[in-house]
Homo-oligomer: A and B are copies of this chain.
Amino acid sequence: MPHVVILGGGFAGLRAAQQLAKAPVRLTLVDRHNHHLFQPLLYQVATATLSPSEIAAPLRALLGPQGVAVVLADVTGVDTAGKRVLLSDGELKYDYLVIATGATHSYFGNDQWARHAPGLKSIEDAVEIRRRVLLAYELAERETDPRMRKALLNFVIIGAGPTGVEMAGSLAEISRKSLSGDFKNIDPRDARIILIEGLGKVLPVYPDDLTDKARRTLEKLGVEVRTGARVTNIDETGVYIGTEFIAARTVIWAAGVAASPVARSLGVPLDRAGRVHVTPQLTVPGLEDVFVVGDLASINQEDGTPVPGLAPAAMQEGKHAASNILRRLRGEPMVPFKYWDRGSYAVIGRGHAVGIAFRRFKQTGFPAWGAWLFIHLMFLIGFRSKLAVMLNWAYSYLTFGKSARIITGPAPRLDQLTLVASSPDGKGAPTDDTEGASRLVSSSNELAPPSPH
């Protein structure tokens, strides 16, 4: 039986595997994680509404019983001449290959920003962001230096695409609602949530009226929206926009997307983001047995606009590549891919969203939010996850409570915080509220006393 190897267990890879599970092929799926991740809800893990396991399903449990071999390994490249996938600790031969290794965040050549401004692609990312956000309030509660306290309560999100907007709305909700009454020395409502976008508007792929609505809703929730602002540097003290400095201990990167490096080993031209220009059949040009699907594929719709990097598009591509493999096996010609745009939604906050259904019907406010909830619950894999997520959403809606508000991992010490970057990199001294301050550390004397009650 021909051996079909699928790289990546995201929406595209999983869908391809499910489509091929009953076909007369030997099927292997490789992923570096043991779980499929429902990425559209990842920001809710980062903002403490959901638990990691509620949006992650073990690939082995999804595919093993269907006879698919699941291999937990890192893919380092593809040798298309030898028809081999190279792993960090082995290799796999294939007859047909489906590459669905997706994308990660790109810092546009400034990889040193990654440490200060984590992105949101994996469970580990989400838990790290949750840890930073919750710790910022904890440290602010104990901090006695007002400038450092201010920096701790500034949350900057860079990039106002759907992820950035969803994060900003959730962080505003945490500061305005979830944490109110929990602290004695700070008022969590003093937190500033600052959303920075390089382009001229939030949610740039949406039409202007939806974008305007989204911006007004964000501002009503307490988010400061800064469009047309280009970030020029990020360090442990904050974010620089040209000569302007925003002191912030918590910075979240929701801007650039870079394709998985696996594409580079194919030896074909890539687009600016590192994605593969695939044929209409979703194959790599010149390689009829290698398919690229999902966020790693660059392909246009009939009207010339690119197929968006959304879960439904990835699933459709995965399914289509699988069907083309089956056609090849039956000796039939492959057919071109056609994206069916059923719509897309972006949540802004509790009861607020914007969206377009079937490229035509614009929705805002509560109806859009309801549609978003329904679609996401429907596509979430696994009966138990659906119930658990529903339970958490109901709880969160009714109480504003964040049920996953736990900090794991090491906590920094107050006396290790710095207000000024320790190793300035020539990008200009801070010009905002840390002006003239030498390397300041918080006093390690008696804590700020709790106010009497």
Residues of A within 8 A of B (CB): 1, 26, 28, 32-35, 51-54, 56, 58, 60-61, 64-65, 67, 69-74, 87-93, 123-124, 127, 134-135, 138-139, 141-142, 179, 181-184, 382, 384-385, 387-388, 391-392, 395, 401, 403-409, 411, 413-416, 442, 444-447, 450, 452-453
Contacts of A416 in B (CB 8 A): 89
CB of A384 within 8 A of CB of B409, answer no
- Does B406 contact A446, Cβ atoms closer than 8 Å? no
Tell me the smallest distance from the CB of A175 to a CB of chain B, in Å: 14
8 interchain pairs (CB within 8 A)?
A: A33-B406, A51-B53, A53-B405, A61-B401, A64-B181, A90-B444, A123-B406, A388-B392
- Indicate if the CB atoms of B67 and A453 lie closer than 8 Å: yes
Across the interface, A414 reaches (CB within 8 A) one of B56, B90, B134, B446, namely B90
Contacts of A142 in B (CB 8 A): 71-73, 90
Least CB separation from A181: chain B residue:
B65
Min distance, Cβ A19 to any Cβ of chain B, angstroms: 16
User: Chain B: which residue is nearest A396 at the CB level?
Assistant: B384
A77 to chain B, nearest CB (A): 15
Task: Determine if B56 and A406 form an interchain contact, defined as CB atoms under 8 angstroms apart.
Answer: yes
Specify which of B382, B384, B407 is in contact with A34 (CB 8 Å cutoff).
B407
Chain B residues with Cβ below 8 Å from A444 are: 89-90
Closest to A413 in B: B89
A89/B415 in contact, CB under 8 A:
yes
Contact A89 B414, CB 8 Å, known A72-B138, A134-B34, A181-B65: yes
Task: Give the top 6 A-B pairs by smallest Cβ distance, nearest first.
Answer: A69-B450, A64-B182, A67-B453, A53-B404, A51-B51, A60-B182
Query: Which residues of B lie under 8 Å from residue A406 when comparing CB positions?
Result: 33-35, 52-53, 56, 58, 123
